[in-house]
Chains A and B, each alone.
Chain A
Amino acid sequence: MTTLFRRDVLKGLVAASVGGVLPIPGLRSLAFGAEPGRAPILVVLHLRGGCDGLNLVSPASDPDFIAARIGDLRVAMDGKDAGYALAGGPDPKIDFRLHPAAGGLAELYQNRALAIVHASGLTNKTRSHFVATDMMDRGVTSDPDLAHIPSGWLSRAVAAKSRFAAMTAQGTLSGDLADMTNAMAIPDLAGGLPPVGGPAVSSALWQLYRNSAGAMASAGRDCLQMMAEIDPKVPRDPQGRIAAYQPDGGASYDTAADFARPLKTVAQLIKMDMGLQVATLEYGNWDTHEYQAGRFRYQVERLSNGLAAFWTDMAAYHDRLVVVTATEFGRRLRNNKSNGTDHGRAGVTLVLSGKGTGGKFYGPWPGLKTEQLDEGVDLAVATDYRRILTEIVNAHLGVPGSAWFPGYAYPGKLGLMV
């Protein structure tokens, strides 16, 4: 829930209001309290629904893999639909291939921006979307911890909580930011955030909300402040109309379809230089229980196009930007008879950075022989997702330790952040 950055600034506004009517446009002249500059930024991308890591990055030549799955749910090694061969895989005997719709990701891998941690994920045995999502968001691995730790792991890990420190590019804060002060949920900036009902009505709303107690009044004050502070930063033409967002470096988000909006919102907020440290966004619909081949291709294409566009757009920030994906679980090795896959265990984690550590895999490959599988059916978790995130928080955000993951014994870095 947002709570926030409201008090000091709005106190000033009360003093500034004349005759009981607050000149809301005047709010806009306030300076930002955030520290722009060179602070590192972490973007966490949630692939909600359980992304089939084995179909995104296939151990394409592994005979156990070939035996377990229909061809449509594996990346091919030859023919017109062959996937992208990836050098630097975790097992030299296996030909690891990126999905053929992931051309953008293949290029990022070539350019050493993209690193892959396969067989990674949550160590708890749950196959529930909602339990697994909540556990990952809160950084816990047991039911008792889940029951008594309501805050998100990011809200505990991010040390300097300046104003505008964190945002989610959707209507509601993501669970990993739960209980974080100064976090905003902004799904879209395409229309700016002008005052509702005009200045007189917004001013009346401010008067109605400024002194009330309770969550609604507090949320209302956040809303008024967000409009007042962020809206003026949205570029407008001389006539005051909002200009369509212009990505840098010739990037285009058009081919990312519905994944474009949250990416552009994150890009815009980063470029406002308001001191953003953490952004989360979501690209869902990975729960492919049936007819997976077509749906998965569509998803992968947009994921790949979107991330490639974002990385191009954000070129000026590569030295201080890391993007990491998270998904609640991977999917069953063996497909079902709906030509889909059910809930499994380990998935794949993608890490984008400008540190030059991409172009290879990190972490071990546990194998797909029955005795190597988790519970005899699923790719085992060989790299705890917390290990990846701890390294990023330590090396990138500069916060030592791993206390934000209760009870976690961090085994040391993988080398993702050098």
Chain B
Amino acid sequence: MPTPSDNQSLIFALSRFGHGPTIEDFSSFSRHGVQAWLEEQTSPPKGDDAAMTSRLKDVRLRIHYNAAEGKWPALDEARPLDMLGKPIDAVWPLLDNSATPRDGSERRRAVDEVIAATYLRAVYSRYQLREAMAQFWHDHFHVNALASEQIMLAMPTYDRDVIRPNCLGNFRDMLEAVAGSAAMLYYLSNHSSRAGAANENYARELFELHTLGRDAYLNDRYDRWRDVPGAMAGQPAGYIDQDVYEAARAFTGWTVEDGAGLDGQRKLPATGRFVYVENWHDGYQKRVLTQEFDPFSAALADGRKVLDLVADHPATARHLARKLCRRFVGPQASESLVEQTAQVWRATAKAPDQIAQVIRTIALSPEFAASRGAKLKRPLTVAAGFIRLTGLDFVPTEGFHNAVAAAGQRLFGFPAPTGLPDDDSYFLGANTVRNRWNLLLGVAQNQWGTGACDPSRTVPVGGDKSAATYAKQWLDLLGVPADASALSAISGAVGVPPTVSIEGMDAKRLSTMAALAVLSPDYQSC
């Protein structure tokens, strides 16, 4: 049996860059080591592994709603994740409720399926680091899927075609994929932006959230671009409101085929696909980050030039390096690690695996290795980690989703474009902590139909093992100090004195013991 300290290192790496170890990981990891794992994880093949693919194919997710008189009958069925693989033009017609009226749940289904798939991948994907990165980029390029039905329907393609293929790839590629996605065009309302008085929503968040970051917003120089340090050398240190206004003009005409009228006679088709509408574009000359834009450039050229400028800006490298270090090393990550990461970011700017190289830099840094315990696990990592550890046959359900959301992590549902805060205190409100406990205890007791838990597959019973011994073996596995008070606490929760045998104890009570071990305060961090 590995020692608690071996287990700590394993659990640490796998909880930072994934959702914790499976019981099999304990043996394979000690054979191959972290570096081999990282090598495989940072260059995963396209798409899901075979076991994952068949799970996604076989799973059924419930959908249910009431009848609407004269419109649709009541429905309650378990349905495959049919919308996950569909192109956007195959789901967009669901918005048209005039020909075939449908309950809103049929549109919301698109995001429900992406959420279910995210839970399944968190638990079962062989490529755990890709899951961690997909979540990082979903937070970074956040869209609140619940903000409109168009965004709900755009979520399968946003997750499948925009975030996942690029999550270990090249940032500039991802930036343009996001800029042209129906999800972002709707969420930050660029789809309705028109020449004349452009909508500034997307352009502002492009600078502030997606690229240069708020530290580079030099708002006291509002309309004096020449006063921005470096401006006269063509290398402005940051951006001002004028850059936002001009960039907003550059993106006019970047929109979605959503049936909008083009003039008195013509309309865009309603497919949900990206389209550039020349008529809506403000073609006149512009200046962004001191660079002059010629009037009447080719289709999309203005927007692409803005994306080039912001992607290449040193402040973007620092902003993203700082965010990645914060996520994977912790809030105390040093400025020198951030600077080193930013250098790799810039040096690999043209590489197709830019982000993977940056991640390797962070993961192999001594600072990463020394940062154990610096991050609170997010609720999904706690829940998926328990499921992986106990090997329970997991089925995603609505109840599970609500419990994860109540614990502070409502997937694709954060109400602001900042995405879920990467800040421990966000998850430490007293009520949120209560919901974290509820989440894990509920999984252990199969309260939401996610699958029966049998912790004896992980830590065997038998041999007249006492309650305290069983609790200790769980805590040792988790690398958590097993003092007498903890042992008596865990035994007491199922009404057994520590020294009494657990021979014959039912799986529910064993599950409560395992869940309490996993809820140890020390195990909430990684």
**Interaction A to B:** yes
Additional 16 contacts, C-beta under 8 A, given A196-B437, A207-B489: A2-B430, A21-B492, A171-B429, A172-B429, A185-B430, A188-B431, A196-B438, A200-B492, A200-B495, A204-B492, A205-B489, A222-B433, A285-B415, A337-B197, A337-B198, A342-B201
Counting chain A CB atoms within 10 Å of each CB, the highest count among B204, B376, B429, B512 belongs to: B429
Task: Verify if A410 is at the interface (C-beta below 8 Å from B).
Answer: no
B490 proximity list for chain A (CB < 8 A): 204, 208
Task: Verify if B390 is at the interface (C-beta below 8 Å from A).
Answer: no
Instruction: Flag if A338 contacts B429 (CB, 8 Å).
Output: no
A185-B429, A215-B428 are contacts. A289–B197 as well, Cβ < 8 Å?
no
A219-B430, A291-B192 are contacts. A336–B493 as well, Cβ < 8 Å?
no
Task: Verify if A184 is at the interface (C-beta below 8 Å from B).
Answer: yes
Chain B 419-432 interface 0/1 with A at a Cβ cutoff of 8 Å (1 = within): 00000111011111
Task: Verify if A386 is at the interface (C-beta below 8 Å from B).
Answer: no
Question: Of B431, B495, B520, B522, which one neighbours A186 at CB under 8 angstroms?
Answer: B431
Instruction: Flag if A207 contacts B429 (CB, 8 Å).
Output: no
Instruction: Flag if A217 contacts B521 (CB, 8 Å).
Output: yes
Instruction: Flag if B431 contacts A187 (CB, 8 Å).
Output: yes
Give the Cβ gap from B84 to chain A, nearest Cβ, in Å: 29
Instruction: Flag if B493 contacts A204 (CB, 8 Å).
Output: yes
Q: Which of A76-84, A103-111, A123-131, A313-321 lies at the interface with chain B?
A: A123-131
Task: Verify if A284 is at the interface (C-beta below 8 Å from B).
Answer: yes
Chain A: residues with CB nearer than 8 A to chain B? 1-2, 20-21, 48, 124-131, 143, 171-173, 184-188, 193, 196-197, 200-201, 203-209, 211-212, 214-217, 219-220, 222-223, 225-227, 284-285, 287, 289-291, 334-340, 342-343, 375
A197 to B431, CA, bound (A): 15
Task: Verify if B189 is at the interface (C-beta below 8 Å from A).
Answer: yes
A287 proximity list for chain B (CB < 8 A): 201
Task: Verify if B519 is at the interface (C-beta below 8 Å from A).
Answer: yes
Instruction: Flag if B494 contacts A219 (CB, 8 Å).
Output: no
Instruction: Flag if B428 contacts A219 (CB, 8 Å).
Output: yes
A208 proximity list for chain B (CB < 8 A): 485-486, 489-490, 516, 519-521
B18 proximity list for chain A (CB < 8 A): none
B220 proximity list for chain A (CB < 8 A): 125, 143
B222 proximity list for chain A (CB < 8 A): 125, 375
- Give the total of B residues in contact with A, Cβ under 8 Å: 57
Chain B: residues with CB nearer than 8 A to chain A? 188-189, 192-201, 204, 208, 214, 217, 219-220, 222-223, 241, 244, 376, 408, 415-416, 418, 424-426, 428-434, 437-438, 441, 485-486, 488-490, 492-495, 512, 516, 519-522, 524-525
Instruction: Flag if B200 contacts A130 (CB, 8 Å).
Output: no
Give the Cβ gap from A214 to chain B, nearest Cβ, in Å: 6
- The 9 sampled A-B contact pairs (Cβ below 8 Å) are A127-B241, A173-B429, A196-B437, A200-B493, A205-B519, A214-B525, A225-B430, A284-B415, A343-B204
Find the B residue at minimum CB distance from A285.
B415
Question: Of A220, A285, A291, which one neighbours B433 at CB under 8 angstroms?
Answer: A220
7 closest cross-chain pairs (CB), A and B:
A207-B489, A204-B493, A185-B429, A1-B425, A337-B194, A338-B192, A219-B428
Counting chain A CB atoms within 10 Å of each CB, the highest count among B188, B244, B416 belongs to: B416
A284 proximity list for chain B (CB < 8 A): 415-416
Instruction: Flag if B521 contacts A212 (CB, 8 Å).
Output: yes
A193 to B432, CA, bound (A): 12
Counting chain A CB atoms within 10 Å of each CB, the highest count among B434, B512, B524 belongs to: B434
Question: Of B199, B426, B494, which one neighbours A338 at CB under 8 angstroms?
Answer: B199
Question: Of A143, A203, A335, which one neighbours B493 at CB under 8 angstroms?
Answer: A203
Question: Of A127, A128, A220, A227, which one neighbours B521 at CB under 8 angstroms?
Answer: A220
A200-B493, A207-B485 are contacts. A193–B521 as well, Cβ < 8 Å?
no
A143 proximity list for chain B (CB < 8 A): 220
Counting chain A CB atoms within 10 Å of each CB, the highest count among B204, B486, B492, B525 belongs to: B492
